[in-house]
Structure 1
Amino acid sequence: MADLYTYENWSDTFPEFDSKDETKGALSALRWAYDTYGDSIIYASSFGIEGIVLIDLISKVKKDAEIVFLDTGVHFKETYEVIDAIKERFPDLRIHMKKPDLTLAEQAEKHGDELWKSQPNLCCQIRKIIPLRESLAPYDAWISGLRREQSESRANTNYFNKDEKFKKVKVCPLIHWSWKEIWRYVYKHDLPYNKLHDQGYPSIGCEPCTAPAYNVDDLRSGRWAGTQKVECGLHES
């Protein structure tokens, strides 16, 4: 069945799901995705608040699902703490910590110190995009926590998307969820989450490139603050 729904055999015949049900179609989309792709799908998680919701939903569908975390080497300690908490809460999940080929010292020697300041796009390429491409290579599809309300660039995201960057099918179950609904779910199910969310960080990435949000209407305004950069490149064509 998955042969009908790959990047190479892309069509617009993916099923639609009821966006008004209890999980706004997320659980149905995940069930369909795992039924279709089996072991050929992986969730790439940053372990932000959307990721915590997705992990809980995924665990209801496939207890031993595979998850990859892009361990750039410059994450907040609180991010590693929540990963440990998730491992304890969901011990059957297979969580892979994917590191870049270059250590921070090797990167500094080759490109200069604090590359995230001088060439942030190159830094993301080395520490995020290339590692994710390597991680996704064996799979037909991957899951992402994108929501339509997060930013203008994500407003047209569908449950199933043709990912031109990684040549995969990208599954986005949370497209219809609001920020309030994400938090309501976390509190209802008493899920662990990154404590930086309580300190003004709605969106959390690498420590050098993440600050508290300065615009309450833009949850990602603390990412690469003071620059024109708005995405790490994982979700750009």
Structure 2
Amino acid sequence: MPLLERSPLDLPPLNLDSINEHLSQHNAQGIVQWAAATFGEGLVLSTSFGIQAAVMLHLVSSVVPKTPIIWVDTGYLPPETYRFAEELTQRLRLNLKVYQSPLSPARMEALEGRLWEQDTVEAFNRYDQVRKVEPMQRALKELGATAWLAGLRSNQTSYRQGLRWVDRHNHLYKVHPILAWSAKDIYLYLSKYDLPYHPFFDQGYTSVGDWHSSRPMTSGDTHERDTRFKGLKQECGLHLPQTEGESQSLDSSSL
């Protein structure tokens, strides 16, 4: 079956200021419904199967059941994450699409060392580019995405404080249905639908990614994202504006 590839010219023209004002009057379900009506088969959702992943997975799959869900598997996730992913995939009947780097963990370590042990932002950025950003860019291209649903919240990082309900992100739109939600809103939604947290939640984790770059929150932390990437950075790169070179790679036929 040929890949569903769209060019940037295929994106529907949107008046983002007007749309964001309109969506501010809607709840999360309404924003997902708007996205489905606007983008149709070009709509995808991403997940990391992290601490609160069940919220977005349930929210989107209950409104648009067949939405493609992209999971970038770095190859370094804890066993509990893989089992949690399997549990939610079966329970919610997710249309899961798993993507990985073409560079295996063993090969990457042989060529570049254990990047997460180098304790520099540059090493973490290189790790994220190889294991997360490139697979995600490839997934978006192969699935013909024109809009990307993401469970980002404005109170998570300084970068996310400036996001809107809908924004242009390189060659597609980003939609953030739970942008204004608080930790209490997350808890109430999980409770209402009897959804699970990631197993690491009971061990004091507020955010979880790869086994080597996540830890429980302590009294010395000022923010939940301090527990990721040894406190050197807040974002893994997936949700940040890409460099010109990375944007060009999204259009590359070699991906």
Q: TM-score, normalised by structure 1?
A: 0.88
Identify the match of residue 224 of structure 2 among 219, 224, 230. 219
Distance 1:212 1:7 in 2: 41
Q: Per the alignment, do residues 229 and 133 of structure 1 end up closer, same or farther by CA in structure 2, a change over 3 Å counting?
A: same
Distance 2:212 2:36 in 1: 36
**Residue 83 (structure 1) aligns with:** 85
Matched, 1:236 2:240: yes
Identify the match of residue 199 of structure 1 among 182, 200, 203. 203
SS in 2 for 1:150: coil
Identify the match of residue 177 of structure 1 among 181, 194, 201. 181
- In structure 2, list runs of 5 or more residues that go unmatched: 1-6, 242-255
Matching of residues 41-120 of structure 1 within 5 Å: 41-91=43-93, 93-112=94-113, 114-118=114-118, 119-120=123-124
Which amino acid in structure 2 is aligned with residue 141 of structure 1? A
Distance 1:210 1:7 in 2: 36
Deviation at 1:57, TM superposition (A): 1.0
Distance 2:92 2:131 in 1: 27
Cα deviation, 1:114-166, whole Å, max 9, x if unaligned, reads 122221110100000000000011211111110011122211211101113xx
**Residue 39 (structure 1) aligns with:** 41
- The alignment yields a C-alpha RMSD, in angstroms, of 2.1
SS in 2 for 1:162: strand
Q: Is the 2:151–2:178 Cα contact (8 Å) retained in structure 1?
A: yes
Deviation at 1:105, TM superposition (A): 1.2
Matching of residues 136-175 of structure 1 within 5 Å: 136-137=140-141, 138-164=144-170, 167-175=171-179
Which amino acid in structure 2 is aligned with residue 221 of structure 1? D
Question: Comparing both structures, which one devotes a greater share of its residues to helix?
Answer: 2
Q: Per the alignment, do residues 6 and 177 of structure 1 end up closer, same or farther by CA in structure 2, a change over 3 Å counting?
A: farther
Q: Is the 2:53–2:197 Cα contact (8 Å) retained in structure 1?
A: no
Q: How many pairs were matched up?
A: 225
Q: Is the 2:157–2:234 Cα contact (8 Å) retained in structure 1?
A: no
Q: TM-score, normalised by structure 2?
A: 0.82
Cα deviation, 1:20-71, whole Å, max 9, x if unaligned, reads x6xxx21111001011111111111012244211111112211122101110
Deviation at 1:174, TM superposition (A): 0.6
4+ residue stretches of structure 1 with deviation over 6 A?
none
Q: Per the alignment, do residues 206 and 234 of structure 1 end up closer, same or farther by CA in structure 2, a change over 3 Å counting?
A: same
Deviation at 1:6, TM superposition (A): 6.7
Which amino acid in structure 2 is aligned with residue 205 of structure 1? G
SS in 2 for 1:158: coil
Q: Per the alignment, do residues 68 and 57 of structure 1 end up closer, same or farther by CA in structure 2, a change over 3 Å counting?
A: same
Distance 1:104 1:85 in 2: 25
SS in 2 for 1:60: helix
- In structure 1, list runs of 5 or more residues that go unmatched: none
Q: Is the 1:10–1:162 Cα contact (8 Å) retained in structure 2?
A: no
Q: Is the 1:7–1:163 Cα contact (8 Å) retained in structure 2?
A: no
Distance 1:140 1:209 in 2: 31
Q: Is the 1:210–1:223 Cα contact (8 Å) retained in structure 2?
A: yes
Matched, 1:133 2:134: no
Q: Per the alignment, do residues 37 and 8 of structure 1 end up closer, same or farther by CA in structure 2, a change over 3 Å counting?
A: closer
Q: Is the 1:140–1:168 Cα contact (8 Å) retained in structure 2?
A: yes
Distance 1:230 1:59 in 2: 28
Distance 1:204 1:169 in 2: 26
